[in-house]
Chains A and B, each alone.
Chain A
Amino acid sequence: MKINIALAQFNTKLGVVRANLETHLSMIDQARQAGADLILFPELSLTGYALLDLAVETAIRPHQDDPVFNELLGASQEIDLMFGFVHEDRRHRFYIASAYLSGGKILHIHNKLYLPTYGMFDEGRFFAPGNSVRAFDTRFGRVGMLICEDFWHASLPYLLWMDGADILLFSSASPGRGLTDAPRLSSSEWVEHTNRAYAGLFTNFVAHANRVGYEDGLNFWGGSTIFDPNGHLVVCAPDFEPALTVAEIDLNQLHRTRARLPLLRDERATVVQRELERILGET
């Protein structure tokens, strides 16, 4: 089975959900016309990233009664989509979240577990951390979603792999940093290496949507990618430029790679479980 994935990178309007929704709908339309089966938007694509006090002002409920969600549910009749938003739960806790919509239904909501609160980041001040990570079934097979700092912790992609995800869908609003004499920023290099490593180590597809544009002095570097189960780069969107990048992946590659390299077959999760219980029991 071959599917086309579209990676959307654009500059959001900070805190203006309606304007960003219009951009989503327009890019969804473009992706559909380009033959995409699935479109991936970056982290907090409906709101912008450095929200601070705007976090609570831009939060929405993931439900068809919400007018923004309702429009996106409508758009998902013809193409599957993943996007980022501020999720307000029933108890009025606020999460950085990704939604996966398909056929007019919400298939999954992922709340970001790891909220960077150090250096230039202050997410833990404004958001509640998610508490679970789950793979889920789509018409393309089983997938898992993670958001930015989530995949800087190797445990979460590992858990999704164990939970059956063959396609990892990552989203980021990664501020560019680390200027040296190299042609790319250190942050770009690091994220790309990490994604390639997960693809190779898990013999999985890894698709990553990262935004572009600026917020005050922060730049976002784009460079969205897809890696295949061999760790090969399928496609790389341009750095810093808004783009809708569509690429085909061949899901039969999972069969071919895992026939050659049975890392999943040989993985001993029970050893991980037993040793973790021992380690955590000792501390």
Chain B
Amino acid sequence: MTDLTINAELTEKILTGFIHTELNRVGFQRALLGVSGGIDSAVSLYLSAKALGPENVLAIRMPYKTSPDHTLEDAQLMIDDLGVQSMTVEITPMVDPLIDRFEDMTKIRAGNIMARMRMIVLFDQSVAFNGLVMGSSNKTEILLGYSTIYGDSAAALQPIGDLYKTQVRQLARHLGVPELVVSKAPSADLWEGQTDEGELGFSYADVDQLLHLLVDQRYRPEACVEEGFDRDFVARVVRRVRQNHFKRVMPPIAKLSERTIGYDFLYLRDWGT
């Protein structure tokens, strides 16, 4: 077992500095984000409120008709706790016409439509609120590709994208996220009874250990098996990380000219700021 414990105080210092600096340098003082009642968006919310002041943060609740009541209540609990600005935009009347349009609609497709509708609401509100959209993706889900491309993965900044799920939980406790949010089973709430670990087929505790060896410690897959991980589990995770890489990169541009964006036109996003 690798110890994935982080120094939460140092993490908070770096991440609040990141949010504050990276927003300010491009002329923004405010941030907004979707708050689902889950732990990832909770941590992004608490970090944003600490970095920018609660008055500069807008938390948006975007329930669908099947969203459990407790998700809305948990989100409200955190909104009240921090004193951030808030808004509720139910997405049911926006997504149902598209979902109902196709008889062969699947749960996955419907889930993607909901995630992308929430993205549309957030990016629309970013103009109205004059703020940037704060992401809530963690390292585990980014590596596994457990997200909807152009949906929940769309954001201006990803403050917790280098923290594994188990580390996000540790940071959440340090930031004062309510315990009932920290300890409930992670779920995208895209359909009733959905849990991340049920859908993925393994636990975050296990996969975080494995990903840490594969990615951070550069173990070869075979060496992970020697360390005691199940061979099929290792193979499944390695495949998932590779197959979902397309979600982590910009779409490739077909090179024709002498200088092509992405290959030999290279600048950080912070260029000139």
- Contact across chains for B5 and A52 when beta carbons are under 8 A apart: no
Q: Which residue of A lies closest to B17 (CB)?
A: A240
B267 interfacial by beta-carbon distance below 8 Å: yes
Distance, CA A219 to CA B162, complexed state (A): 13
- Contact across chains for B14 and A15 when beta carbons are under 8 A apart: no
| Interface of A: prevailing SS | loop
Known: A214-B17, A214-B22. A52 touches B272 (CB 8 A): no
- In the complex, how many residues of chain B place their beta carbon closer than 8 angstroms to a beta carbon of chain A? 26
Residues of B within 8 A of A200 (CB): none
A84 interfacial by beta-carbon distance below 8 Å: no
State which residues 10-25 of B face A: CB under 8 Å: 10-11, 13-14, 17-18, 21-22
- Contact across chains for A180 and B272 when beta carbons are under 8 A apart: no
State which residues 225-273 of B face A: CB under 8 Å: 264-273
Name the one of B5, B264, B266, B272 contacting A14, with C-beta atoms under 8 angstroms: B272
- In the complex, how many residues of chain A place their beta carbon closer than 8 angstroms to a beta carbon of chain B? 24
State which residues 36-65 of A face B: CB under 8 Å: 50, 52-54
What per-residue 1/0 map shows which CB atoms of B1-14 lie under 8 Å from chain A?
A: 00101110111011
Return B9 CB to nearest CB of chain A, in Å. 7
Known: A15-B271, A53-B267, A54-B271. A179 touches B18 (CB 8 A): no
Select the stretch in A138-146, A153-161, A181-189, A263-271 that faces chain B: A181-189
Distance, CA A215 to CA B17, complexed state (A): 12
A213 interfacial by beta-carbon distance below 8 Å: yes
- Contact across chains for B7 and A219 when beta carbons are under 8 A apart: no
Name the one of B6, B18, B269 contacting A181, with C-beta atoms under 8 angstroms: B6
Distance, CA A46 to CA B14, complexed state (A): 24
- Contact across chains for B271 and A14 when beta carbons are under 8 A apart: yes
- Contact across chains for B17 and A182 when beta carbons are under 8 A apart: no
Name the one of B13, B264, B267 contacting A54, with C-beta atoms under 8 angstroms: B267
Q: Which residue of B lies closest to A52 (CB)?
A: B266
A13 interfacial by beta-carbon distance below 8 Å: yes
Question: A50, A176, A214: which has the most chain B beta carbons within 10 Å?
Answer: A214
Residues of B within 8 A of A70 (CB): none
- Contact across chains for B272 and A214 when beta carbons are under 8 A apart: no
Name the one of B21, B161, B162 contacting A11, with C-beta atoms under 8 angstroms: B21
Q: Which residues of A contact B (CB under 8 A)?
A: 11, 13-16, 50, 52-54, 176, 179-185, 213-217, 219, 240
6 further interface pairs, Cβ-Cβ under 8 Å (given A180-B6, A183-B10): A15-B271, A179-B14, A181-B7, A216-B22, A217-B158, A217-B161
Instruction: Write 19 A-B pairs (CB below 8 A) sorted by A numbering.
Output: A13-B272, A14-B273, A15-B271, A15-B272, A53-B265, A54-B271, A176-B14, A179-B10, A180-B5, A182-B7, A183-B7, A183-B9, A185-B10, A213-B21, A214-B22, A217-B18, A219-B14, A219-B17, A240-B14
